[in-house]
Structure 1
């Protein structure tokens, strides 16, 4: 595969060929909020890259924001349409599963903030390279901040976090809904590397290239065994979307979500 300019093979996702390594760049301005179109587009772009012979994949986002998580204004606009709300969440978890179950290594190149759903997508990747902000007083942050908006992270998502930071650390972060800056995230193992913003993509590709230089069959088989728990975490019995949807409509959750939207709108 020869390196080429970015092109779009799916809605809101740009594909960039780096010669065996394919970069999938979330491209839904302004903050890559995860609506069904973006989630379905990511899954389609990943399928296309693998079918076209990608040996490894880099998942990247926009500068300053990797992904702001689920598109809360869109979800709130659905009102009492539970079918549409369920479809939106299913699209997100389908995209997460596609990353988790990818037959080739996937690296998250996190060039900015990655709260909630953005963090989940990163946790589904094999490796996470995160940018150091050029403005120390405004660091990039990553984490599962669901409790801050009245939501409960499903057991499967909690498993993903426990896998990388350990059970007690995960408990503290999840209960508080804490967002870590990139340096703190590196310290606790939520991300694997912290580099300058303009080096994130290159470092992600470099790590992949080193992995791909290993004997392929042994590397891929070992990877599949090691990552089986990632796929298991996203099985329906560990997500329980029906229960999550019921909780979404709870009065205190709706109040917290709308308060968050009002704050963001100021």
Structure 2
């Protein structure tokens, strides 16, 4: 595995990032994969695309994200932080139903991905740069800090409209991250579509920014602040698991504090 310089086309603060990823992450965006870049203690996970890619979750994308998380975990140090963004109109538009994967396969693969986010030995930040629907919103809520842009993007758990039942870990993830009773009801039982400011009031999002650039810059600033703390990543992951015992139980993580 080698380090090298790349230039990001997102905005100036992301220029000259160090790339740390396997060869698969260099493949074209046609495969709807992701890239993992490193800048100091910050790992930048980007769902790549050509601007119209919906980043729907299929085996290819899920495997790419899991590989990126594995690489970040392997190369983490005290003070490491993960920031996740996406290119294009969508952050993630849920499951890919136009794939050879069955829904049961996708549900099980996403379950493993959620468990790996919860177990990641570093703080995690997501900037919802576009629409996050269904399992795509679940992907966003896997993170510790959730930011969103005001000028574009909707959040929705639309399973109630699709006639689909959320898996147990999906329900527990929402319950763990959305503490307001009325927000839980509206998200799960009404399938409401919400924009950034309403998402903040509902407790789905921590901060809403005016546009993509300011949201990504906000995520980078938070990442830099967290990196300065130089926290022990393994301890951080244990603390996170302790915070969400019911979620960890259905994920099969079986949290036990180390004294």
TM value normalised by structure 1: 0.75
Indicate the residue corresponding to 1:26 in structure 2: 47
Q: 2:87 aligns with which of 31, 56, 62?
A: 62
* Change in 2 beyond 3 A, CA 1:178/1:197: same
Q: 1:91 to 1:154 in 2, by over 3 A?
A: closer
Question: By how many angstroms is 1:158 displaced?
Answer: 2.2
RMSD: 2.6
**4+ residue runs of structure 1 moved beyond 6 angstroms?**
none
**Could you list the per-position Cα deviations for residues 98-130 of structure 1 after superposition, in whole angstroms to 9, with x for gaps in the alignment?**
112111111111111101111101111111111
Judge which range, 224-233 or 48-57, deviates more: 224-233
How many residues end up aligned between the 2 structures? Answer: 225
Q: What per-residue deviation string (whole Å, max 9, x for no partner) do you get for residues 119-159 of structure 1?
A: 101111111111111xxxxx411121111101122333222
Instruction: Give the corresponding residue for 2:137.
Output: 119
| Match runs of 1:149-228 below 5 Å | 149-166=162-179, 167-195=181-209, 196-214=211-229, 216-217=231-232, 221=235, 224-228=238-242
SS of residue paired to 2:17: coil
Secondary structure at the residue paired with 1:225?
A: helix
- 5+ long unaligned stretches in structure 1: 79-83, 134-138, 239-266
Q: Is the 8 Å Cα contact of residues 68 and 116 (structure 1) preserved in structure 2?
A: yes
TM-score (ref. length: structure 2): 0.77
Report the 3-state secondary structure (helix = DSSP H, G, I; strand = E; otherwise coil) of the residue aligned with 2:61: helix
1:237 Cα deviation from its structure 2 partner: 7.2
